[in-house]
Structure 1
Amino acid sequence: MSVHRHIVPRLAMQSLRNRALTAFLTVLAIAFSVMLLLGVEKVRTGARQSFADTISGTDLIVGARSGSIQLLLYSIFRIGNATNNVTWKSYEDIAKRPEVAWIVPMSLGDSHHGFRVLGTTPDYFEHYKYRHGQGLKFAAGGPFKDLFDAVIGADVAKALGYKVGDPIIVAHGLGSVSFVEHADKPFRVSGILAKTGTPVDRTVHVSLEAIEAIHVDWQNGMPQPGQSVSADDVRKMDLRPKAITAALVGLKSKLATFKLQRAINGYVEEPLSAIMPGAALQELWGLVGTAETALSVVSAMVVATALLGMVTMILTTLNERRREMAILRSVGARPTTVLGLLATEAGLLTLAGVVLGVAMLYGALLVLRPWVDATYGLNLDINAPTAREWIMLGGIVVAGFLAGLLPAMRAYRLSLADGMTVRT
């Protein structure tokens, strides 16, 4: 009686059931590799989106004349230094323009145990947005009210073990260890911000007046001997800043963005730059995004390794199944039926691994997503696989079927006599 093609899938399922443990381990290996591949893809897209959402709702960033990436790095990511400062007069001129809805000044230059200190105004906590317009929230305490109040990011609080009310000594310069500190004017932690996954988490925020206050008796980056001003006396002084590092600008209408940008870039009083943060972020990602390609390559190699393991398993068991193949041939199975049987087994193993891997990934996302967001500030969306991911999954199934052709071709060549021969 002839063995027809339509019973090949049934034969393949029965054969896999007979080798349930080996088949299960193979499916598990493929599932973990698929989970890793899709997990890397989710993390890659999540990281890219989180990177793009580092700042949201700000139309322009203004600073001294420099490249857009450099201005973005020191003003938002707290990396590097400004080429120059922006005078307070220029800041006020920009703030008075009719297109401006709000403007937040920022002053950088000091640090605390390696974390940057940012001088700003309480408006910063209202207008700084990230991740599609999400605002800053306080995990404890609130904005600074006293001259020497400080608001710290989540990473600062965690790394240094600070809580509301603890004292902070700001150091001059940016080193993680500094021998020049503003110890005569200590700050107090007034608030701790909730985790955002942005550079805000690694920043100590103080008022602009506080930045001026700790430097009133300093000159050229060093304290002046015999000119120390106490914390009580400095409160009575005029602490209006003379210059700032940069400013965040929000406009009344998005249509005015290019107009104001041209006006600031052509400002005659001093050389300034105005950049759109979204465009600068995309430019910066183009420089640092090479790592995502490396991650994708590594995860693809893991999938290839799992498929190679499946082929090895089928080849290893092939010698044990030669009598099975001989019996199939003796009852009328054509060589192509044997070939189709082994290729179908490989395809079923791969398909089962893909389905299990996808299920494991989404299960892990449901459990770990809140922890990842709270710990790393990385927002991993739980949504259906994208077209790119569907193509990847389909490609894995096809690759598994094709990989199964190698042992299938070997079985195809087995003759009936060879299959019935008992080897010693």
Structure 2
Amino acid sequence: MNLLTLARLALASAWNRRYALGLTLLSIALAAALLLGVERLRAGARAGFSSALSGTDLVVGARGSSVQLLLYGVFRLGEATPNLSWASAQRIAAHPAVAWSVPISLGDAHRGFAVVGTNTGYFRHYQYGDGLSLAVAQGRAFDSLFEAVIGAEVARKLGYTLDQRIVLAHGSPEFELAEHADKPFRVVGILAPTGTPVDRSVYVSLESMEAIHIDWQGGMPVPGFSVPPELVQKFDLSPKTITAQLVGLKRRSDVFALQRELNEAPGEALTAAMPGVVLDQLWQMLAIGERALQAVSALVAAVSLAGLMAVILAGLDARRRELAILRSVGARPREVLALLLIEGLGITLAGCLLGLALLQLAVWLGGAWLQSRFGIGLAGSLPGEQEWARLCAILLTGLLASLLPAWRAYRISLADGLSPR
């Protein structure tokens, strides 16, 4: 009996048990889609997180942890870092190797979103993804006091439009303190979605940040003292400190030399961090979570393949006469063994292909939404080398799962099949 004949017999036998095997095939398909989907999500999340800031060579702040500086200054996460003096920031901006620099000042919030004090260079130089620049979807960038530009998620969640009046509050997004109610801002621009922390921020000028705190001291308003908005321009609104500074170099080859120079500079203690290196360190810290996700998806696949083995084993007693008839017409024991192996391998292969199709459909339907909302880009192309390796692992495991029922069928004798108990 040749291989083609065995394949036809396996297909006919599977069709007779199509309902039970169909559920098993579906479970294998879902397991394969989950296994590949978790890997794509992991890779997409890592790429999205790493590409939230591109085109920036250094992030400079006061002396401290590079990871904390990047998390707070760029991603608005974690505890606040010490501030960098404005004098040091100006010195760095004037360095011969520096092409551009963008100041970042944090410390205020608006209804759960971080407020970022910066300048218009932020909208020109900040890049994300594969060198993508920020775009203003509606309105324009701020150009005077008490004007704000909001991210796409801020506009969507709070229902804001242009000319919206907003009031900022002192503190973090998680713990907002007293409001700057006497100095409201007007929304003059809404940024296009990026899938990065840019979407979850409100942007104002550094001078505006100083203006709303001009009658504050020690993080609280001075009792009995208030400066009206129309009079704040009479004061010096130059910032005294900032949170961090984004730096782009004229030549990227100078990055190590400038980093060492800033880290070792006399005077104010500074930390100059390379975003790519710091993000790699961060992902190494999160590696245990990645492995846990991969382990869970592999466990789901193993359970599905165990279900395949259980279904084939459970059907052996009902198929004893079928197998005995095959033996009686000349099928050898090894051909019965091959029949069961082909059946298990076929179901596993069909499940893998169906799972891959389901994953591609999910990417096609939800890929753009994930990119715009969470910054997770899912590859919609053909599987890569690692994904093919995982599919092959599922196929091999399915083949191994079919060995036990195939071995039992091999051991069933002709007499046992023709003389049911």
Number of the residue aligned with 1:348: 346
Kept in 1: contact 2:53–2:127 (CA 8 A): yes
Q: Aligned Cα RMSD in Å?
A: 1.6
Number of the residue aligned with 2:55: 57
Structure 1 residues 87-120: Cα deviation after superposition (integer angstroms, max 9, x where no partner): 2211111111111100001111111122211100
Q: Counterparts of 1:289-368 in structure 2 under 5 Å?
A: 289-368=287-366
Give the whole-Å Cα distance in 2 for the aligned partners of 1:35 and 1:229.
Answer: 61
The amino acid of 2:84's aligned partner reads V
Number of the residue aligned with 2:153: 155
Kept in 2: contact 1:30–1:307 (CA 8 A): yes
Number of the residue aligned with 2:87: 89
Number of the residue aligned with 2:236: 238
Kept in 2: contact 1:5–1:337 (CA 8 A): no
Give the whole-Å Cα distance in 2 for the aligned partners of 1:5 and 1:56.
Answer: 55
Kept in 2: contact 1:54–1:130 (CA 8 A): yes
Structure 1 residues 191-230: Cα deviation after superposition (integer angstroms, max 9, x where no partner): 2222222211221111000010011111111111222100
Give the whole-Å Cα distance in 2 for the aligned partners of 1:266 and 1:161.
Answer: 47
Q: Establish whether residue 370 from structure 1 lines up as the match of residue 368 from structure 2.
A: yes
Kept in 2: contact 1:4–1:333 (CA 8 A): no
Instruction: Indicate which of 172, 176, 201 corresponds to 2:199.
Output: 201
The amino acid of 2:394's aligned partner reads I
Instruction: Indicate which of 67, 70, 79 corresponds to 2:65.
Output: 67
Give the whole-Å Cα distance in 2 for the aligned partners of 1:211 and 1:5.
Answer: 77
Higher alpha-carbon deviation: 87-96 or 367-376 = 367-376
SS of equivalent to 1:333: coil
Number of the residue aligned with 1:220: 218
Change (3 A) 1:165 1:328: same
Give the whole-Å Cα distance in 1 for the aligned partners of 2:373 and 2:177.
Answer: 32
Change (3 A) 1:330 1:103: same
Percent identity of the aligned residues?
53
Number of the residue aligned with 2:180: 182
Give the whole-Å Cα distance in 1 for the aligned partners of 2:178 and 2:18.
Answer: 69
Q: Counterparts of 1:58-137 in structure 2 under 5 Å?
A: 58-137=56-135
Instruction: Indicate which of 34, 37, 40 corresponds to 1:39.
Output: 37
Give the whole-Å Cα distance in 2 for the aligned partners of 1:348 and 1:283.
Answer: 43
State the aligned residue count: 421
SS of equivalent to 1:320: helix
Number of the residue aligned with 2:409: 411
Deviation at 1:5? Answer: 5.6
The amino acid of 2:275's aligned partner reads P
Give the whole-Å Cα distance in 2 for the aligned partners of 1:365 and 1:72.
Answer: 30
Deviation at 1:382? Answer: 1.8
Deviation at 1:289? Answer: 3.4
Deviation at 1:353? Answer: 0.9
Give the whole-Å Cα distance in 2 for the aligned partners of 1:208 and 1:100.
Answer: 21
Unaligned runs of 5+ in 1: none
Number of the residue aligned with 1:141: 139
SS of equivalent to 2:149: strand
Kept in 1: contact 2:259–2:272 (CA 8 A): yes
Deviation at 1:179? Answer: 4.4
The amino acid of 1:121's aligned partner reads N
The amino acid of 1:191's aligned partner reads G
Deviation at 1:4? Answer: 5.0
SS of equivalent to 1:180: strand
Change (3 A) 1:119 1:256: same
Deviation at 1:329? Answer: 1.1
Kept in 2: contact 1:307–1:403 (CA 8 A): yes
TM-score, normalising length: structure 1: 0.95
The amino acid of 1:74's aligned partner reads Y
Kept in 2: contact 1:307–1:400 (CA 8 A): yes
Give the whole-Å Cα distance in 1 for the aligned partners of 2:68 and 2:335.
Answer: 65
Number of the residue aligned with 1:277: 275
Kept in 1: contact 2:341–2:399 (CA 8 A): yes
TM-score, normalising length: structure 2: 0.96
Give the whole-Å Cα distance in 2 for the aligned partners of 1:222 and 1:35.
Answer: 54
Deviation at 1:83? Answer: 4.1
The amino acid of 1:118's aligned partner reads V
Give the whole-Å Cα distance in 2 for the aligned partners of 1:207 and 1:112.
Answer: 15
Give the whole-Å Cα distance in 1 for the aligned partners of 2:351 and 2:78.
Answer: 47
Deviation at 1:177? Answer: 5.2
Change (3 A) 1:350 1:138: same
Kept in 2: contact 1:85–1:246 (CA 8 A): yes
Higher alpha-carbon deviation: 95-104 or 305-314 = 305-314
